[in-house]
Amino acid sequence: MGAIEQEIIQRVRQLDSDDQKRVLEFIEGLHQQPKFYSPRELMRLPTEERNRLVAEAFDRAATMDFETFEAYSEEPLDDES
């Protein structure tokens, strides 16, 4: 067993049972893929949960690289020029 594993075990043993459950939930959440909700499913969720999910999505998106483009332009679109 490595030094990190030993330190984790030692620290978890020092926690009360409620905090140990929270650690376990955190560990289980590391391997779960986020569920993707349809707009209809999102609207059916309680407001607090929906706001939490949207905030998490924005946090994940903050580290992504997006390409931006103009969807509308004043320039003519005809190819004859």
Is residue 56 within 8 A of residue 34, CB to CB? The reply is yes
| pLDDT at residue 81 greater than cutoff 60 | no
Is residue 15 within 8 A of residue 23, CB to CB? The reply is yes
**Alpha helices, DSSP H, located in the chain:** 3-13, 17-30, 39-44, 47-62
pLDDT of residue 29: 78
pLDDT of residue 77: 67
Chain segment 10-62, per-residue pLDDT in tens: 999 999 999 999 999 888 877 777 778 899 998 999 999 999 988 988 888 88
Please state the pTM of the whole predicted model: 0.40
